[in-house]
A and B are shown apart, each in its own frame.
Chain A
């Protein structure tokens, strides 16, 4: 009776899957989301602050936070930023490849996950809009934080404006072409 066996195998395959709607909402329009299944106390987050500190120092010392460097990049007047971004991509790519190849785990023993990203037109429209802003402020979101730390308190205005831009995007999201 092959039909019965088929039925059984179908049933085991369609075990009820739990859909985490909160995760779905957070994962919208974002690259940087990964659900850890572990719960930690808040101070576990301090290790990310430590990575941020090193990263912020590198940003500042390599003048990635310099408005002049961004202008030079977009006017093809200096190789510097191409070198920084290029090296970062090569190192990142090698790291991701090694992590996948050797199935490197996190320090908590969890498997490291990657999620493929789907194409939508927002990546073009939004990308162009982002580029226009990047060349004006001379800073993408990361350097904004480092600039404030470096003592340019007026950049808090830029940051708040960027939060406002994000909010307005959220408000009009359903009506924008994707």
Chain B
């Protein structure tokens, strides 16, 4: 039990995430891809006569069950397998974040950025609302996110997925190193 409560090593989690690919395929010919659910939400709730949202989203209901499971998984892991110790953070990152007034690392998200209070600051608004928007817009524009492209796409040796993954990483490096410091200073 104690072993389960500690943060799991990368190779255990990586293997489990990788096994999701054959699990979904064998259970019903389903391709692992999480961002598609954002589109199903649009198709179900506000299709607004946009051709891109004109399809029978109910045929993709399995995926909504899948992400519902992810949410429950997060809940179970936090309720029953939680590690009371602060989250491990690289010392270099901690000291850098301190300059921006971010010191909380008791949980996986620092409360200075991810809380209702933070949402009403310019910094929080840009990161939560702006960041979320870019994730949703970019994932669909790219035709998939880290699950659809980086995991199953590359697993199936798809060159477009490798290109998309390289672009994800390039965007991330650009943001974390060159743009985010300015946002965090706000």
Indicate whether A136 sits within 8 Å of B180 (C-beta atoms), given known contacts A75-B93, A131-B167, A142-B70: yes
Contact with A along B14-25 (1 / 0, CB 8 A): 111111111111
63-100 of chain B: CB within 8 A of chain A = 63, 65-78, 81, 87-90, 92-93
13-43 of chain B: CB within 8 A of chain A = 13-39, 41-42
Residue B159, interface by CB 8 Å: yes
Tier of interface size on chain B: 35 or more
Is A133 a contact partner of B167 (Cβ separation < 8 A)?
Answer: no
Is B15 a contact partner of A131 (Cβ separation < 8 A)?
Answer: no
Give the docked Cα–Cα distance between A107 and B7 (Å): 33
Closest B residue, CB atoms, query A40: B28
Closest A residue, CB atoms, query B14: A87
Is B170 a contact partner of A131 (Cβ separation < 8 A)?
Answer: yes
Is A49 a contact partner of B142 (Cβ separation < 8 A)?
Answer: no
Interface stretch (choices A1-9, A10-18, A122-130): A122-130
Residues of B contacting A: mostly: helix
Set of chain A residues within 8 Å of B126, measured between Cβ atoms: 136
Tier of interface size on chain A: 35 or more
Indicate whether A142 sits within 8 Å of B146 (C-beta atoms), given known contacts A52-B70, A61-B8, A79-B10: yes
Set of chain B residues within 8 Å of A118, measured between Cβ atoms: 160
Is A137 a contact partner of B66 (Cβ separation < 8 A)?
Answer: no
Set of chain B residues within 8 Å of A135, measured between Cβ atoms: 171-176, 180
Contact with A along B154-179 (1 / 0, CB 8 A): 11111111011111111111111101
Residue A26, interface by CB 8 Å: yes
Q: 22 A-B residue contacts at CB 8 Å? A: A29-B140, A29-B144, A34-B30, A56-B77, A57-B81, A58-B16, A62-B9, A85-B14, A87-B14, A91-B21, A92-B22, A93-B155, A127-B167, A128-B171, A132-B174, A136-B134, A146-B73, A147-B108, A149-B78, A152-B109, A157-B132, A165-B136
